[in-house]
Amino acid sequence: MAAITIGGAKYVDRVAEVISLSFATLPLTTYTFRQPDSTWPANDVPFDVVWPVYRENIGRKAAAGAELAEAGDFAAVAIWFPPGVAVPESPDVAPRMLEYREVFSRMKKDHLRGASWWRVERGLLYMA
């Protein structure tokens, strides 16, 4: 089993790299990043488009108290928020992402009924 380590600000760049590479082809990523004048393929957001955004957001989350974790020399990464640690809002959230968050917030309220929980902001296994 791969060792798991937890880091703060020192992990921001690597976690952003793994998440950028892993999320670039997801429909939700394309949905939020693509603009009418985008010239890149519809199903593959370029690294240089997503990485700066993810790096800034992950840095903000680490500064707010998120736990950045990795396993297997960054073969897997996760961003965890302990109970009671507020997730900071991004100043430039796309309207489509706001809609998604509103729906998800209603679901949490309905199903968690105020229970404390660790929120995983991003967690994935990246296979190069």
Label the pairing between strands 119-125 and 4-7. Answer: unpaired
Instruction: Tell me how crowded residue 74 is: count the other CB atoms within 10 A of its CB.
Output: 14
Q: E-assigned strands of 9-118?
A: 67-71, 76-81
Q: Looking at residue 42, what is its pLDDT?
A: 82
Residue 47 reports pLDDT greater than 70:
yes
Residue 39 neighbours by CB under 8 Å, 6+ apart: none
- Report how many domains make up the chain: 1
Question: Is residue 120 a contact partner of residue 79, using CB atoms and an 8 Å limit?
Answer: yes
Residue 14 reports pLDDT greater than 80:
yes
Residue 68 domain boundaries: 4-125
